[in-house]
Amino acid sequence: MQYCFLDLETTGLDPQRDSILEISWVLEDETGQQIETFDEVFHPDKSPLTPFVTHLTGITESEISRKGKRLATLRTVLSEKLKNSVIVGHNIDFDLQFLQENGVEVSQNQRIDTHELARILLVGEESFSLEVLSKKYDFEHKDAHRALSDARASRELFRFLQQKIEALSPDFLKTIQVILEEKTDWIAKELFLHAAATGEFAPKREPASYRTAPPESVSDADQKKVLEPKTAFIRAGDSHATANLQKSLAFRAAEEGPGALIVTPKLDFFADLPWFPVPEVLLDPVRLEQFASSRETLSNAECTFFLQAKFRHFLGYRGKDFFDLFAGQRNFWPEVCASEKSNVFATVLQEKKSEKILVLSPRAFLRFRNLDWFAGRKILVDEAELFAEDLLFFPSTQWSLATRLRSSDEDISAATQFFIRNFCREVIEKKLNRTLSTFPERILLDSSQDMSSFSEAISAWGDSTFATLTEALSTPRERLVRWTTYSPQSGNLSFGAWHPDDWRDLKKELGQFSVVYFYRHVLGEANLFFRIFVGTFEGVRFFFPGLFPQGPPRKKLEIPGHLVSAKSPEFNRFSLHKIQEIVSQKIAPDHAVAVNFSSLETLKNVFLEFSHFLSDQLKDADVSAFGEKVSGGDGKLLQLAQQPKKLVLFFQKMMTAELEQFPFRTLIFQKFPFDPPHPLFEAVEKALEESRLKLWDLWTIPRVSANISRRDSLFPHREKILFLDSRENASWGREILHSAFPDFSVES
């Protein structure tokens, strides 16, 4: 078997629009003897070379002028050279699509993806990028993002993984033998079927290491004060200080009573405490076998997913967080996860019952709040303004037509498409008074509108999943709020329904618990916010930041003069210039800058422009820029950011405890973080107006303030905050900033 370890560099990600800049490979026979090395640079014949690509790859206009070939003249030669080779590379399908689109014939070649193999065999990696794996396992990779260096690194990674396969347990290999022999033509299966099976590669499952004593945070007297009232409120500090206080209170509650539940969306801040997993994050081995047996053949992606899940189950892992799901694999997970009635979840419940302290997400708490062994525990609710949204939405019912739309039965798929087309035309477009755009549409349905014709169409499907949807469309309960969402990209239509009585009943149920809420906004009507959206009960007390150890001196919140309107086309350019100004200053090497963006699209655009700036004007400076979802996943970003350079982080929603390790001293906020409006809020706003209350004051300002504060709290070392949104000049804008940064002096 002849292996070709191949990599390309391109001007972009679209094979139809972007150009191949470099093709490199190392050709070997099956004994590992090198036959040929190929490395050529090409003139871009579609999209041009940009400063960003030069910054990323090191390929310059000068190099292309000196050494560049014309791809059109070498297509036949390249096709001939690659013929009969098994092509190996990291995320190799990307490269193969570019070659095929550019006339290099590789459609008949077998392929092995080292990224797929790594995800099967390596458990608990921070990142599966070639760059990070090469650094961790010491592969030769001197020039990342140059094709020949990447090809050689993927060769070393392949040999490394091949050794791991040879050393797998014979017991594990027996469990996958029949599936590999009968269900797939994935070429990499031969590595598993003919492995020596020495059993030397058996990754040990690390035992859980839970904290046995509370962290030093506040005095015993203060802890008792907080735990005494039935309902207490505490103004949160930075994320780590708040997490430590919650741990202290949880240990105190565990010492003096049945225990505590820490309800938080930031689970990784509590990695040293036991978590309560919902069934959907647990693997059900019975359903995994059904996943494989229900398919006549397994595609490469399905086979990879099956082996990945099977190996982790063999090692004793049950939780989804150990499965490192990637891209399309997330669509497979619902087929293999546990249900509330499964033996897997029942076993986990029994195991967790004895834990005195448990950490769980807000939705998990609301969903399983009636477990008998939750009763009597102290509930510590983190990010209470955001918990209020989970509480508000939890009683809603959701229906999606996605499964029917993707059905392999063409009759089902066609009927669903017909239904969606009619609903969009007869309901959504009439409501909007315009034709649908390419953007998702989410609208509140009229409460009185009779949609019985659509409910009859759904009933005709004979699918019990949608029985309650037909009722909501045809004979809804009085005051039922209904909405629909259409996603043009997938063509899917989904529905939602919510009733205020269900929400009120849920808030009343929380009265059975003794709760401490950690909140972030500081407003005169804070009590009213919680009373309406969370619910408060007898014996409420508010506790303020005096509980926390005294922090550093008062910090500076800077708002530049002559701010550009956030609605102006020039706003992104203005934001870019401000970031450039900060980075261009002679700041210390250990001074990192973090920039928070309101949307991922804006982040990408400004990051691209900033990369041009680094290439053109700061090319000799020791500066590295990384962007959320632009530089890879969080794991890759955090690993690459370890290098000793001035660091600029572009982030939108990234919330991880590991950010504390970096010296972020300057934090820039581009905009107020407003979420897209949800139709349910239209109904809530009308209800509040009837009571002469304003949703903006009671909901929007607290939530936006809390969102800014929680992002700021990730960076405990920051000394200056730069705020660029001109809407701070509005009274509500100043109120939000005062609420989010009560300990900062404002300077213009």
What is the torsional sign of CA 364, 370, 373, 377? positive
Query: Which domains are present in the chain?
Result: 2-166 (3.30.420.10), 223-393+516-527 (no CATH), 397-498 (no CATH), 555-747 (3.40.50.300)
- Tokens, residue 281: 């994050």
CB–CB of 166/195 below 8 Å?
Answer: yes
Do residues 26 and 5 touch, judged by C-beta distance below 8 A?
Answer: yes
pLDDT for res 554: 56
**Integer Cα distance of 669 and 514 in angstroms:** 36
| Ranges assigned E (strand) in 136-235 | 231-235
By the 8 A CB rule, do 324 and 125 touch?
A: yes
Torsion of CA 170, 173, 175, 176, to 10 degrees: -170
The model's pTM is: 0.90
Q: Can you read off the two tokens belonging to residue 337? A: 């996860």
Measure the CA–CA gap between 602 and 628, rounded to whole angstroms. Answer: 12
Q: Three-class SS of residue 40? A: strand
- Beta strand pairing call for 20-28 and 2-10: antiparallel
3-state secondary structure 634-684: HHHHHHHCCCCCEEEEEECCCCCHHHHHCCEEEEEECCCCCCCCCHHHHHH
* Model pLDDT, residue 78: 93
DSSP 75-137: HHHHHHHHTTEEEEETTHHHHHHHHHHTT---TT--EEEHHHHHHHH--S-S---HHHHHHHH
Q: What is the DSSP letter of 425?
A: I
Give tens-digit pLDDT for 622-648: 788 889 988 878 888 888 787 767 889
In which element (H, E) is residue 321 found? none
Residue 445 has, within 13 A of its CA and on its CB side, a CA count of: 27
Sign of torsion, CA 504 508 513 517? positive
Which amino acid, one-letter code, is at 257? G
pLDDT reported for residue 360: 96
Q: Show the tokens assigned to 710.
A: 């929680």
Q: Which of 168, 39, 235 is nearest to 710 (CA)?
A: 235
- Calpha distance 339→638 (Å, rounded): 34
Q: Are strands 492-498 and 481-487 parallel, antiparallel or unpaired?
A: antiparallel
- Taking the C-alpha atoms of residue 429 and residue 150, their distance in angstroms, rounded to an integer, is 50
Q: How far apart are CA 229 and CA 227, in angstroms?
A: 6
Give the sign of the dihedral formed by CA 626, CA 631, CA 633, CA 636: negative
Q: How far is CA 40 from the centre of its chain?
A: 37
φ, ψ of residue 544 to 5 degrees: the values are -115, -175
Report pLDDT for 544: 66
Phi, psi for residue 10 in degrees, rounded to 5: -135, 170
Cβ(520)–Cβ(385) below 8 Å: yes
Q: Hey, which residues does 540 pair with through a beta bridge?
A: 231
Are 46 and 19 in contact by the 8 Å Cβ rule? The answer is: yes
pLDDT digits (tens, 9 = 90+) for 522-557: 766 667 888 889 987 666 787 765 565 555 555 678
446 vs 484: CA distance, rounded Å = 11
Give the separation between CA 7 and CA 98, rounded to whole angstroms. 11
CA–CA dist 722, 391 (Å, integer)? 33
Locus of tokens 């939890």? 394
Q: What is the model's pLDDT at position 608?
A: 85
pLDDT under 70: residue ranges of the chain: 141-145, 206-209, 212, 523-526, 537-539, 544-555, 618-620, 644, 744-748
